[in-house]
Amino acid sequence: MNPLADTREKLTRLSLVVGQFDPRNRWLGWARTIMALGQLSILLFTSPKALFVPVAGQAQAPICKGVESVSLFCIGGPQYLLWHHWGCAGLLLVVASGYRPRYTALLHCWLSASLAFSIALPDGGDSVAKTASLLLVFVCLADDRRWHWSVPSTKLPGTLGALAFAALVVLRVQIAFIYLDSAISKFGVNDWVNGTAEYYFVRDPMFGTGGPFSGIARLLTYFPASTLLMTWTPLVIETAIGILILGRRRYRLCALWLDVALHVGITAFMGLWSFSSVMIACATAGAMPDDTGGRSIQLSQPKAGQTRPPQVNEETLEQPSDTDRVVTA
């Protein structure tokens, strides 16, 4: 076995995949729409007075100093907050529609930063959306479609495809860090380690369960076994998402389904609609195929006297090389 030759062959395959990567697919469309709708829900179901409520120890929101002054909510002064509120909602609706993703990605990045900078009581999803929407700007630079639901009709320049691929990899690393950090940090808290944390969360007057499932949650936490299961299951799922999202396509799909299950549960028992939507949107983008979105890759016709290079997609990287087959034999 020649490690150098084997590494060179795998790098060649990877460069072919990266060079032909095309993010113009519905994975990107769904990710952008779900994220924008989650952010839109904040503005639709929360009044400006509640979003910019005074908080003890902090200046009156929105804070318009330094980099935070770029916020939409800092334009014109606090007397225009109502206009800013509904203007932001309208622009997020444009983003969610999927119109001109190359340009509305920049708009979405600005709106996400505005919400993260200006809201007095963010829920965590705002900061995630700010970073994710910035990375999606580089992905969407390659997207020249009129609507992000449509099939691309032009050939993607290799440079833009490589830039989009790099941004997507960074997004996956960011998602992995969020979930692994969340899981690992809980192991430093006794209530999570001994399996009783959910008992107290369910009964918390501020962040506890509510709605039609509150009675079920309280009932389950009366029993040690179900309380232990409810406490440790999120730790296992978060750890699995953080690892699987960095894997190959089938593992990333598993991470996506685990992410959906986790956040549907969080939404059902605790609310946090916008936070859950942002996290599911990030996982959807992270699970995007590393080829042409499931379509076969058609390489250009070879010149006279040349042979056609092999057709590749993401799954090709999983196939053993010729050297591996010889060693196995």
Q: Kindly report, residue by residue over 31-66, the tens digit of the pLDDT.
A: 999 999 999 999 999 888 888 887 766 777 788 888
CA distance 5 to 190: 50
As to burial, measured by CB atoms within 10 angstroms (0-12 exposed, 13-18 middle, 19+ buried), residue 191 is middle
> Residue 183's domain spans which residues?
22-292
Q: Could you say which DSSP state residue 61 is in?
A: S
CA distance 155 to 292: 11
The verdict on residue 8 lying in a domain is no
Picking from 197, 93, 76, 177, the residue whose alpha carbon sits closest to that of residue 135 is 177
What pLDDT score does 291 carry?
Answer: 67
The verdict on residue 34 lying in a domain is yes
Mean pLDDT of 209-216: 79
Span 176-211, pLDDT tens digits:
999 999 999 999 899 999 999 999 988 887 777 877
Mean pLDDT of 298-313: 47
The verdict on residue 305 lying in a domain is no
What pLDDT score does 108 carry?
Answer: 97
This prediction's pTM = 0.84
The verdict on residue 192 lying in a domain is yes
The verdict on residue 55 lying in a domain is yes
Tokens of 237: 């799922």
What pLDDT score does 147 carry?
Answer: 95
The verdict on residue 172 lying in a domain is yes
Domain count within the chain: 1
The verdict on residue 207 lying in a domain is yes
The verdict on residue 314 lying in a domain is no
